[in-house]
């Protein structure tokens, strides 16, 4: 049975699938089962009150995915358009149709045909289905059912994320008629939404100012992995005519916020076209766009004069881009900025958000230059760069709300400087910063002199956590080296409103502090602990006392942990990671876990060596709504294959490594066809019972965009000379990565295990 929070979510999220308004006084609700998101329908299969309806909904959705034309005809013969009707009203401002793989262009048109005043004749509907079944090239037929003029002027936001079977040009034609006042379009994880489709969109919608085209970021970031080989296989270009049609007709667009995160199919030419068409662009996110270069980014910066938010993490952003940011913009056509700062005429001075995390092409000198030009930043991320105290102390802004300096070389001195100048900090992440360890020396790395310390109002020996507790009110934090029980005490009121905390290598939380975490941070929703000493008492205190807890991660922790830790009800928990902390776990313990955490959508288990093939059935029956499953070195879970996991129909991310040599050669193809939402798949050749896996064709991969296959070599222990055969152990050799985007299939072999 749904609790109050689930009822509220259902009212807000799924009212599009209802024939009547949902109010507290309504006793009967007619739900269109074929319109429910797959993850929601799958998750209700365990509920004793809704299991039958959930099964019916899942079967209907999967039938639509596998054979849309036949299933649509069957639905129309038995129930007419009412079984497909999407509920829209003249007052509705947001339409959310995400997570629905069953929606195709034909489905969408037929679902909206009931609003037409023209009689809907069977032969006309049949003709519409035939037209869409044969949809090719640059022909975007709109059903004659929709010729009559009707529209929903109030709709400003449309979310069509995770649609895989839609011809987007045809859908845009339809949306143009239905939602003429559209402002925001979200089409995340839609690989067939190409850049040419984006240009077609801006032609049709003059008012759209925000577009989100996020896809999964490549695991083969060139600056972060050692590439052995790369092979690129381009698709036959089916959109050439579309691009030719719109190439000369593009005019300036009103789009101000554009998110292209993970789009490996865009290059420098695309960035140049974006800078020409989207002249008003103020927010750009190209995180993980591996095909763009530093030169291409720098040219875009010079042309987009109104940029104030730039997310370029995990790209080749480097010295050229920084020089463009630090150069002066032309005074003509721009308002004069009255400020005492000497660099107030630079592009960087206007930035409010800057994310260059993981950009290995940036050197220390460039960082020093960049930070000396930024002043108005509210969000700054320099995770994994060569950032050091010299550069960070050159930042004189006072508006920071979010700062992430994880895995950098900064020390307490420079962070105290940042904290004192920015009392409005809400997010603070400093995991992996070894120079924060007490007693650490940086003399050999060029530690700041006493004169510089004095200039910045800092002195050796001051405590960063004391400054945080005195100045800030944090909502999210990540700590590592140098964090101790005394640090938690010093933070005091700064973490009273904390909602997410992550503690990593080098930190020491303390037994007493962890048991009282619910008193120190009563609002916590996410707790992730790495390399900490834990016990049953600690876990019991966390899961029992933190009533809002949604995410729990225990990774590589030490201590005496037993099955008693998970005998407590955790109905709010949505994500659970147990990595190398439960080696004793057996099937009986897994059953208890499914009863204690009935609403999980993400599960990660590793090092559970007592699990077996029956564990798959326990997982799929206990959590049918899972969207992410990671199992690594979990006994013999896949010794007899992995077909039972296919009962979790809404899986988007599946990782199975070193769980038993029993996975069939056809597993990848089978998973792609039976799990319509699956986007990421990770396997290991050690688990292949026939020595390898078949790769799906572009047409047969459905939503699948990334496949990672690790390959091991046998390593012989030199210290056991008596039993040479028994001491062989698999040792990682390389990883094969297959990535599909809108243009090509890219096969990369890297040394790392990603």
Question: What CA–CA distance (Å, rounded) separates 232 from 211?
Answer: 28
8 A C-beta contact, residue 672 and residue 701: yes
Which parts of 70-124 are beta strand (E)?
A: 94-96
Backbone angles phi, psi at 339, to 5 degrees: -155, 150
Q: What is the pLDDT of residue 16?
A: 45
**Chain position carrying tokens 């809704």:** 50
- Whether 532 contacts 503, CB under 8 Å: yes
What is the reported pLDDT for 74? 77
- Bridge partner list, 355: 311, 381
How many other CB atoms are found less than 10 A from the CB of residue 454?
11
The per-residue pLDDT for range 344-365, each reduced to its tens digit, is 778 899 999 999 999 999 999 9
For the CA atoms of the chain, what is the radius of gyration?
Answer: 28
Alpha-carbon distance of 605 to 638, in angstroms, equals 14
pLDDT of 82 reads 66
Report the predicted TM-score, pTM, of the whole model to 2 decimal places.
0.89
DSSP 184-224: EEE-TT-TT--HHHHHHHHHH-SS--EEE---PPPS--TTT
Return the DSSP state at 703. T
The CA distance from 419 to 442, in Å, is: 21
Degrees, nearest 5: CA angle 235-240-243:
130
pLDDT in the model for residue 31: 63
Residues contacting residue 353 through CB under 8 Å, at least 6 positions apart: 283, 308, 309, 310, 311, 377, 378, 379, 380
Sign for the CA dihedral angle at 402, 480, 361, 273 comes to negative
Q: Of 396, 449, 452, give the one whose Cα is nearest residue 421.
A: 396
Contacts 24+ apart (CB under 8 A), 20-29: none
Instruction: Give the distance from CA 291 to its chain's centroid.
Output: 20
- Collect the ranges in the chain with pLDDT lower than 70: 1-31, 78-83, 113-149, 236-251, 329-343, 438-461, 716-728
Whether the CB-CB separation of 181 and 119 falls below 8 Å is answered with no
Measure the CA–CA gap between 72 and 354, rounded to whole angstroms. 47
pLDDT in tens, 468-485: 999 899 999 999 999 998
Structure tokens, 468: 């945080």
pLDDT of residue 24: 40
Residue 590: how many other CB atoms lie within 10 Å = 22
- DSSP label of 713: E
The whole-number pLDDT of residue 76 equals 72
Domain coordinates in residue numbering, the chain:
4-182
* 3-state SS, residue 359: coil
Structure tokens at 566: 């998970």
- In the three-class reduction of DSSP (H, G, I as helix; E, B as strand; rest coil), residue 161 is classed as coil
The rounded distance, in Å, linking the Cα atoms of 159 and 212 is: 9
Question: What integer pLDDT is reported at residue 128 of this predicted model?
Answer: 60
Tell the residue number behind the tokens 């850049």, with chain if given: 195
């Amino acid at each position: 049975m749904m609790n109050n929070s689930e009822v509220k979510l259902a009212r807000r999220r799924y009212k599009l699938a209802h024939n009547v308004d949902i109010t507290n006084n309504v006793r009967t609700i007619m739900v269109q089962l074929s319109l429910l998101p797959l993850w929601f329908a799958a998750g209700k299969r365990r509920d004793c009150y809704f299991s039958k309806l959930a099964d019916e909904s899942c079967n209907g959705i999967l039938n639509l995915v596998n054979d849309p034309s036949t299933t649509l005809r069957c639905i129309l013969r038995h129930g007419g358009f009412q079984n497909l009707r999407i509920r829209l009203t003249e007052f509705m401002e947001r339409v959310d149709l995400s997570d629905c793989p069953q929606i195709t262009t034909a489905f969408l048109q037929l679902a909206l045909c009931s609003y037409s005043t023209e009689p809907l004749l069977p032969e006309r509907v049949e003709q519409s289905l035939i037209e869409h079944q044969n949809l090719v090239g640059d022909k975007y037929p709109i059903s004659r059912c929709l010729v009559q003029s009707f529209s929903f002027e109030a709709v400003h936001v449309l979310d069509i994320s995770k649609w895989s079977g839609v011809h987007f040009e045809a859908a845009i034609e339809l949306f143009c008629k239905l939602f003429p006042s559209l402002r925001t379009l979200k089409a995340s994880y839609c690989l067939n939404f190409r850049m040419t489709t984006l240009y077609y969109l801006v032609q049709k919608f003059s008012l759209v100012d925000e577009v989100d085209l996020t896809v999964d970021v490549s695991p083969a970031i060139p600056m972060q992995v050692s590439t052995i080989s790369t092979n690129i296989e381009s698709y036959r270009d089916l959109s050439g005519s579309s691009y030719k049609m719109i190439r000369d007709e593009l005019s300036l667009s009103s789009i101000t916020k554009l998110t292209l995160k993970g789009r490996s199919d865009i290059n420098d030419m695309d960035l140049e076209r974006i800078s020409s068409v989207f002249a008003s662009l103020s927010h750009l996110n190209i995180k993980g766009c591996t095909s763009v270069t530093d030169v291409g980014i720098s040219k875009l910066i010079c042309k987009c004069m109104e940029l104030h938010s730039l997310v370029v993490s995990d790209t080749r952003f480097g010295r050229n881009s920084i020089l463009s940011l630090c150069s002066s913009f032309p005074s003509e056509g721009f308002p004069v900025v009255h400020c005492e700062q000497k660099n107030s005429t630079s592009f960087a001075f206007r930035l409010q958000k800057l994310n260059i995390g993981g950009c290995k092409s940036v050197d220390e000198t460039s960082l020093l230059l960049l930070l000396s030009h930024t002043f108005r930043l509210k969000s700054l991320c320099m995770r994994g760069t060569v950032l050091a105290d010299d550069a960070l102390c050159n930042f004189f802004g006072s508006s920071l709300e979010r700062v992430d300096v994880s895995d950098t070389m900064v020390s307490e001195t420079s962070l105290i400087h940042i904290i004192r100048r920015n009392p409005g900090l809400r997010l603070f992440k400093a995991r992996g910063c070894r120079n924060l360890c007490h007693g650490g020396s940086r003399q050999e790395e060029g530690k700041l002199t006493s004169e510089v310390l004095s200039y910045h109002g800092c002195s050796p020996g001051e405590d960063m956590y004391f400054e945080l507790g005195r100045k800030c009110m944090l909502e999210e934090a990540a700590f590592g080296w140098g964090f101790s029980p005394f640090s938690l005490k010093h933070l005091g009121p700064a973490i009273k409103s904390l909602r997410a905390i992550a503690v990593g290598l080098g930190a020491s939380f303390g037994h007493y502090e962890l048991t009282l975490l619910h008193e120190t941070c009563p609002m916590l929703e996410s707790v992730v602990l790495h390399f900490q000493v834990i016990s049953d008492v600690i876990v019991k205190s966390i899961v029992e006392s933190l009533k809002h807890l949604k995410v729990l991660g225990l990774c590589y922790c030490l201590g005496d942990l037993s099955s008693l830790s998970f005998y407590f009800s955790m109905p709010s928990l949505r994500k659970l990671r147990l990595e190398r902390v439960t080696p004793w776990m057996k099937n009986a313990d897994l059953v208890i876990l499914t009863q204690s955490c009935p609403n999980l959508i993400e599960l990660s288990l590793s090092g559970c060596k007592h699990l077996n093939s029956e564990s798959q059935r326990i997982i799929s029956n206990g959590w049918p709504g899972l969207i992410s499953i990671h199992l690594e070195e979990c006994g013999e879970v896949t010794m007899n294959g992995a077909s039972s996991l296919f009962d979790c129909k809404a899986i988007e991310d599946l990782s199975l490594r070193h769980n038993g040599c029993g996975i069939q050669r056809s597993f990848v193809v089978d998973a792609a066809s039976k799990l319509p939402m699956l986007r990421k798949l990770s396997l290991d050749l050690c688990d292949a019972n026939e020595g390898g896996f078949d790769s799906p064709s572009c047409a047969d991969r459905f939503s699948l965009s990334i496949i990672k296959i690790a390959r091991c070599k046998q390593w012989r222990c030199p210290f056991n000379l008596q039993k040479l055969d028994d001491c062989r152990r698999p040792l990682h050799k390389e990883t094969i990565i297959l990535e599909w985007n809108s243009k090509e299939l890219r096969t990369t072999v890297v040394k790392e295990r990603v």
